[in-house]
Amino acid sequence: IEVERVAGRETYIASGEKLVEVIQPRVEEMFELVDRELKKSGYKDLITAGVVLTGGCSLLRGIKEVSEKKLGLPTRIGYTRIKEPEELTSPIYATAVGLILYGIKKREEFISKDKLGVRIKEWLKEFF
């Protein structure tokens, strides 16, 4: 994998093995920290449905299994439920799309009273 460096320096070619060697311990550490904070906050026992991972890191191979092992909770990767545009079905956009849909749902009354809001609502419905 080609890694760009800052300030115009030569790119660095990293092997997949080297990346795994660096990234895997950080991913494990991240879930250990999350687990510790969940326990400290008292919320750990309240999570009954499990964990949903979103964002670019959720695409890391094996992250679901690491999450389940370190947190002791069922884990899934969160994909959007929209069909088009296809690019927005990725977990990378799941949180953003979810927040938009939540905002639409909660603001529906306000938007329906506003002519500009109606046009925005109809435009967004085309995508979601």
Write out pLDDT tens, residues 88-103.
889 999 998 888 888 8
Distances (CA, A) of 23 to 9, 19, 57, 104: 23, 6, 11, 37
The structure's pTM equals 0.71
Give me the pLDDT at residue 89, please. Answer: 87
What is the residue extent of each domain of the chain?
23-78, 93-128
Give me the pLDDT at residue 14, please. Answer: 84
Contacts of 13 by beta carbon, 8 Å cutoff, 6+ apart: 1, 2, 3
- pLDDT by residue (tens digit) across 10-35? 888 888 888 889 999 999 999 999 99
Torsion of the alpha carbons at 53, 56, 59 and 60, rounded to the nearest 10: -100
Mean pLDDT within 51-76: 96
Give me the pLDDT at residue 25, please. Answer: 96
Q: How confident is residue 107, by pLDDT bands cut at 50, 70 and 90?
A: confident
Q: How confident is residue 125, by pLDDT bands cut at 50, 70 and 90?
A: confident
pLDDT over 90 percentage in the chain: 46
Give phi and psi for 109, each to the nearest 5: -60, -45
